[in-house]
Structure 1
Amino acid sequence: MRAPLPANEPARLAALHDAQVLDTPPEEDFDDIALLASEICGTPMGLVSLVDRDRQWFKAKVGLDLDETDRDLSFCSHTIHGHDLLEVPDATVDPRFADNPVVLQEAGGVRFYAGAPVVLDGTYSVGTVCVVDHVPRTLTSSQRRALRSLAKHAAVQLELRRYARHAGEIADRTRQLDRMKDSFLATVSHELRTPLSTIRGYLEMLLEDDFDPDTSRRFLSVMSRNSDRLLRLIDELLLVARLTDERMQLDLAEIDLADLAHQAVAACRPLADHREVKLRDRTEGAVPARGDAKRIAQALNHLMVNAIKFTDPGGEITIDSTADDEPELIITDNGVGIAADELPHVFDRFYRCQAAEVMAAQGPGLGLAIVKSIIDAHHGSVHLESEPGVGTTVRLTLPRS
């Protein structure tokens, strides 16, 4: 039985589309939600599902290969009629679902479903966090409570992204000081609140129920990762504050840019391997320069991480060096690239290019601004060339030793 449309369907769809999350790449925050839903409820499938006009699209999925299904076949299209969890212990005896093709399948047919609505603005149920099994079953009260909590967490993630994007659009329309301040506050608020809300959500679940050791360790792993993310952001904000006050202290000495490049590649290789991006270190021989090794290493790390974030799986990043005229490092990727009209702004503080929004890349837009400030303090130079769909090249030069 096809679910009727919710009474607020036009406004509900407007809220969903305003979030601009449909057809976006996977994100760790949502992947964690789907995985935890599956593990906590003991089901083979866990999903973060968004119900569009004619389809059900999966922002995150565990135990399912499909990216979307027809809305007419969707159990979640029934869940979005309210704000409470919908549980179907045995779909074969439920008149709403008994004749559904996904139930009638002889092998792998859906028998059990439970979904908690993802509600935006406290009003619009745009999707669900749901779990599915091939055998009839029922959830425990603690599992239902956890599923509701995960759905609230998914809603927070969507609302934070929407809020940050709206603030960015304001900043794009004008570069006036008061609008820039609004953008700054919104960006930092988003970057701080996202990991904090994740930590708080998992803490609440740990405090409410006794989970098995494996699930508890996974909770703690997610919380640890988000704590590290908070610390990195705070470090960057403190550095920006020092740069703003022109109080950046440099410990100048003779350094080897090639050696620092080797260290940056080694430090970033785990991230590159995780994203299936190749790193090629082609620096040869010493490249003597004068600088603060710690600060230059920080700048190189930002450049390498940036290149990795915006290079698709199977891509490649190379780092070359030369000491012919000036000590120089060249970092080249074949990633998504940057549009010509965005290039003048890439070193601005808190600027996030369109690719960052499309790829849902984390970060407040400080990395390249920090790089430029560090290199400027050394009386060096950093230049960026890029072409959409081709890639980006960054050239970093420092004074000779």
Structure 2
Amino acid sequence: MRARAHPEQTERLKTLYRYEILDTPREEEFDEIVALTAQICEAPISVINIIDAERQWFKAEVGLGTRETPIDTSICAHIILDENFVEIEDTLQDPRLRDNPLCLAERGGLRFYAGARLVAPNGMPLGTLCVLDHQPRQLNDLQRNAIRVLARQVMKQFELRLALRDQEVLRGEIDHRVKNSLQTVSSIVRLYQRDVADETARDALVAVQRRIDAIGALHEQLQGSSSGQLIDIRKFLERLVGLLQETAPDNVKLRSSAVHAVVDSDTASALGMIVSEFVANSLKHGFPETQAGNVTVELKKADAQFVLTCSDDGLGSNARKPKLGKIGSLGTNIMNAAASRLNGEFSQALDENGSRLSMTFEHVYA
């Protein structure tokens, strides 16, 4: 006998699909639960069974050797309509199952069933954690309680995954909105630059825009990250250098080269500030008027460390020594503070071939 549909089937399926469990790969946490359940209950078969509209799908199983079967022969499709725990000592004595082909098989028929429903917080049953045997039998109280407890643990795992996914979606939306807001602010600052005649004020606005763009690039990478607060540092530096190129004169070309690695967002932020300030200093002092040149940003890995190198082929030590002023002092302080956040060994040098910055710091993520 095929089980009737749940009286709130539409809502039940809506709840089920929100968890995005169906057709996911096997996971050790769930495999261990069914293995333990089978061992405690001394049963040859144990299953985490999810009831879809026209099939039952197994998130984990021992003793079956398949991931899904049609809903027509599903025992658990009947059980989700019942109480939270059901034990059937002999399936052939149960009117719902006595004509079930899986129970009637002459050899290997499923003659015993015990399972606890997997119930979402809104009361909708998603499936069961169950054990089956080829012989009629009974469980003891410890075994029954074990199934109930382990079923609740399965549901808690589902809830945890759902909460993490919802948090990821929310974080992505926040990063998207922050990025868009920063882009708007950057555009406004750029418009103000055009109408400012005072060189000091203009330098200050350029510095503000540059730092806004660096933070915006960071949130852009966070938005596209599937690893929470981890950043693909190669993509981040490529995006940042691309934004800085937009502020550079046509005679100066910027390029980046970075090892493929992920870092946390704090590390990416610190690196972004250092790179932004170095590039700004190179553009301002290394390439007067129409002198052509290049600025290069490189990030390499050496053993357990990262090595950041920023260099240009501008005037270097041949440039007129600038008056540092408040804007220049702020840039230097920002680089020093960023290097300190990374516990990095930070050095700068000028010679006739240009300017160079080097920093070595430890990395955690590979």
TM band (smaller chain): 0.5 to 0.7
Question: What's the CA shift string for 1:287-321, capped at 9, x where partnerless?
Answer: xxxxxxxxxxxxxxxxxxxxxxxxxxxxxxxxxxx
Query: In the alignment, which residue of structure 1 is the partner of 2:106?
Result: 106
Query: In the alignment, which residue of structure 1 is the partner of 2:278?
Result: none
Asked if 1:373 is matched to 2:291, the reply is: no
Q: Distance in 1 between matches of 2:34 and 2:226?
A: 36
Q: Residue 397 of structure 1: CA displacement?
A: 5.5
For the 8 Å contact 2:231–2:264, the answer to whether it is kept is no
Q: Residue 163 of structure 1: CA displacement?
A: 1.5
Asked if 1:158 is matched to 2:158, the reply is: yes
Q: Residue 373 of structure 1: CA displacement?
A: 3.0
Q: Distance in 2 between matches of 1:347 and 1:49?
A: 28
**For 1:1-400, what aligned pairs fall within 5 Å after superposition?**
1-175=1-175, 345-346=224-225, 350=229, 368-370=262-264, 373=267, 381=299
Q: Residue 157 of structure 1: CA displacement?
A: 0.7
Query: In the alignment, which residue of structure 2 is the partner of 1:259?
Result: none
Secondary structure (helix, strand or coil) at the match of 2:175 reads coil
Q: Distance in 1 between matches of 2:228 and 2:55?
A: 39
Residues 17/382 of structure 1: CA separation in 2 closer, same or farther (3 Å cut): farther
Q: Distance in 2 between matches of 1:107 and 1:8?
A: 37
Secondary structure (helix, strand or coil) at the match of 1:145 reads helix
The sequence identity of aligned pairs, in percent, is 36
For the 8 Å contact 1:347–1:369, the answer to whether it is kept is no
For the 8 Å contact 1:346–1:368, the answer to whether it is kept is no
TM-score by length of 1: 0.48
Residues 40/122 of structure 1: CA separation in 2 closer, same or farther (3 Å cut): farther
Q: Distance in 2 between matches of 1:146 and 1:16?
A: 24
TM-score by length of 2: 0.52
Q: Distance in 2 between matches of 1:63 and 1:371?
A: 45
Q: Distance in 2 between matches of 1:49 and 1:159?
A: 16
Q: Residue 111 of structure 1: CA displacement?
A: 0.7
Give the 4+ runs in structure 1 shifted more than 4 A. 176-179, 341-349, 374-380, 395-401
Q: Which amino acid in the other structure matches residue 368 of structure 1? A: V
Question: What's the CA shift string for 1:57-83, capped at 9, x where partnerless?
Answer: 000011111110111111101111144
Secondary structure (helix, strand or coil) at the match of 1:31 reads helix
Q: Distance in 1 between matches of 2:115 and 2:80?
A: 9
Residues 83/22 of structure 1: CA separation in 2 closer, same or farther (3 Å cut): same
Residues 372/342 of structure 1: CA separation in 2 closer, same or farther (3 Å cut): closer
Question: What's the CA shift string for 1:128-168, capped at 9, x where partnerless?
Answer: 00001111111111111110111111111111111211221
Q: Residue 372 of structure 1: CA displacement?
A: 8.7
Residues 14/396 of structure 1: CA separation in 2 closer, same or farther (3 Å cut): same
Q: Distance in 2 between matches of 1:115 and 1:104?
A: 20
Residues 93/79 of structure 1: CA separation in 2 closer, same or farther (3 Å cut): same
Q: Which amino acid in the other structure matches residue 5 of structure 1? A: A
Q: Distance in 2 between matches of 1:150 and 1:28?
A: 15
Q: Distance in 1 between matches of 2:147 and 2:138?
A: 13
Q: Residue 368 of structure 1: CA displacement?
A: 2.5
Q: Which amino acid in the other structure matches residue 153 of structure 1? A: Q
Q: Which amino acid in the other structure matches residue 80 of structure 1? A: I
Q: Distance in 2 between matches of 1:347 and 1:105?
A: 47
Q: Distance in 2 between matches of 1:352 and 1:124?
A: 38
Question: What's the CA shift string for 1:200-246, capped at 9, x where partnerless?
Answer: xxxxxxxxxxxxxxxxxxxxxxxxxxxxxxxxxxxxxxxxxxxxxxx
Q: Distance in 1 between matches of 2:15 and 2:300?
A: 41
Question: What's the CA shift string for 1:261-292, capped at 9, x where partnerless?
Answer: xxxxxxxxxxxxxxxxxxxxxxxxxxxxxxxx
Q: Residue 27 of structure 1: CA displacement?
A: 1.1
Q: Distance in 1 between matches of 2:4 and 2:223?
A: 50
Count matched residues: 216
Secondary structure (helix, strand or coil) at the match of 2:16 reads helix
Q: Residue 370 of structure 1: CA displacement?
A: 3.8
Q: Which amino acid in the other structure matches residue 350 of structure 1? A: Q
Secondary structure (helix, strand or coil) at the match of 2:103 reads helix
For the 8 Å contact 2:117–2:127, the answer to whether it is kept is yes
Q: Residue 174 of structure 1: CA displacement?
A: 3.1
Residues 348/157 of structure 1: CA separation in 2 closer, same or farther (3 Å cut): closer
Q: Which amino acid in the other structure matches residue 151 of structure 1? A: A
Q: Residue 369 of structure 1: CA displacement?
A: 2.3
Question: What's the CA shift string for 1:326-362, capped at 9, x where partnerless?
Answer: xxxxxxxxxxxxxxx9798449852599xxxxxxxxx
Secondary structure (helix, strand or coil) at the match of 2:117 reads strand
Residues 382/7 of structure 1: CA separation in 2 closer, same or farther (3 Å cut): farther
Question: What's the CA shift string for 1:354-393, capped at 9, x where partnerless?
Answer: xxxxxxxxxxxxx93249939959997259xxxxxxxxxx
For the 8 Å contact 1:372–1:382, the answer to whether it is kept is no
Secondary structure (helix, strand or coil) at the match of 1:108 reads coil
Q: Distance in 2 between matches of 1:131 and 1:6?
A: 22
Q: Residue 28 of structure 1: CA displacement?
A: 1.5
Secondary structure (helix, strand or coil) at the match of 1:369 reads strand
Residues 5/369 of structure 1: CA separation in 2 closer, same or farther (3 Å cut): same
